[in-house]
Amino acid sequence: MHAEISYRNQPPGLMGLYGKALLPKGKQSGGDLVIPALSASLIGVSTDNADLARYAKVCGFANSHHVPLTWPHILAFPLHLKLLTDKRFPLPLLGLVHLRNSITQHRPIGVGECLDIRVSLGNQQRTDRGLEFDLLTEARANGQLVWEESSTTLFRQSAKNSAEKPANKTPPTLERFANTVSVKAVEALGRQYGRISGDLNPIHMAALTAKAFGFPRAIAHGMWSKAHCLARLEKRPDWQTGLPVTITCNFKKPLFLPGTAQLNWKKADNQISYQLLNGKGDAPHLSGEIWFG
């Protein structure tokens, strides 16, 4: 068992953690990798800080007495980075791939409300693509669980032999939903969201730094894309305000900056299926579901 790293009122400083993110890790040998049971907590953090209004604006959320559903992810990010740069964590931070994200908000969270946030690592499993694990986050108010998140991350590894490699499969036919609105992502979006969120991964910052990692241009943060989809859908008259809500997301093709996309969705009873498609509408950047109640 590892002792939990704990902070009160203020999260760990990001500048020192950025430096640790660049340090080399030991050699990663396939079957020997184990994700340690690390955890960290932040006690008594206010949901209202200098970045809240800027976050709401860059993601497209309306003004409200409640924080955006994705805002606790931003409050927890320094704890995420603390665990992923811990010397006991065996994987290099740069190059990890964010695959999936699921958030459940049990009740709306007020602006200025104080939360206790806890982050842990878990659910390690090996897949055809490599090693997957989850960053698990919980937020409590007065001891009551009000918000929780699971973010699944991939460390790419080759199959042990060619026989284990999955065969190429024809991608499933893309279903188009009844409702569509256009989305515009400006060239500076990665820097704008990065400064607010603390996620300054070079692939998001500029074309020059993204090219060093094999991308032709900078790409939008996946969590910006998810938050923006949510912000647009929340403004619809059929959004069910005040209920517990779960929003899942599977990240697929990158959204290059600057770029255009299409938010495409359908609603049935207490569920919304949504997807962010490319400008032509024939390939997904992400897809997910929203459940109420």
CATH number at 263 reads: 3.10.129.10
pLDDT for 195-206, tens place per residue?
A: 999 999 999 999
Is 63 within the bounds of a domain?
A: yes
pLDDT at 169 exceeding the cut of 70: no
In a domain, 26, yes or no: no
> What range does the domain containing 252 cover?
173-292
109 assigned to some structural domain: yes
The whole-angstrom separation of Cα 170 and Cα 153 is 24
Instruction: Tell me what percent of the residues of the chain surpass a pLDDT of 90.
Output: 84
Q: Could you count the other beta carbons within 10 Å of the beta carbon of residue 227?
A: 28
- DSSP assignment of 147-167 equals EEEEEEEEEE---SSGGGSPP
Both 270 and 183 in one domain: the answer is yes
Q: Is the pLDDT assigned to residue 13 strictly greater than 60?
A: yes
Asked if 220 and 135 sit in the same domain, the reply is no
The count of domains in the chain is 2
- 119 and 220 in one domain? no
Query: Kind and range of the H or E element at 115?
Result: strand 114-127
Q: Within a domain: residue 234? A: yes
Strands lying side by side in the sheet with 284-292: 5-8, 39-46, 114-127, 130-141, 144-156, 97-105, 245-251, 284-292, 271-278, 259-268, 179-185
pLDDT tens by residue, 189-233: 999 999 999 999 999 999 999 999 999 999 999 999 999 999 999
Q: Is 168 part of any domain?
A: no
Residue 141: strand pairing partners: 144
CB atoms within 10 A of CB 95: 12
